[in-house]
């Protein structure tokens, strides 16, 4: 089963080297209403995006900045 998460980056992506690729670590928090307790709650997600070519790396460096809305 696939899950799609949309959220706002509160911090820019964490950039790191992974062999010949560059990794971009992102964290998203999604607010939802718990149907049992009727309280607001948060669910946190982490994802890593890898890029190898210079064009891909530049795209992610420009796109994965604080305040960006991303969907993974």
pLDDT at residue 16 greater than cutoff 90 = yes
Domain count, the chain: 1
- Helix boundaries (H) for the chain: 54-63
As a whole number, the mean pLDDT across the chain is 93
Q: How far apart are CA 17 and CA 1, in angstroms?
A: 30
The confidence score (pLDDT) of residue 64 equals 97
Long-range contacts of 36-40 (CB under 8 A, 24+ apart): none
Q: How far apart are CA 60 and CA 50, in angstroms?
A: 9
pTM over the 0.95 mark = no
Cα torsion 35, 6, 3, 72 to 10°: value is -160
Residue 1 maps to a domain: no
Residue 70 maps to a domain: no
Residue 28 maps to a domain: yes
């Amino acid at each position: 089963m696939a899950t799609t998460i949309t959220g706002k980056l509160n911090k820019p992506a964490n950039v790191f080297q992974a062999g010949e690729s560059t990794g971009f670590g992102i964290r998203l928090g999604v607010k939802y209403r718990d149907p049992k307790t009727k309280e607001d709650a948060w669910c946190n997600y982490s994802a890593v995006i890898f890029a190898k070519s210079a064009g891909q790396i530049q795209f992610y460096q420009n796109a994965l900045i604080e305040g960006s809305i991303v969907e993974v």
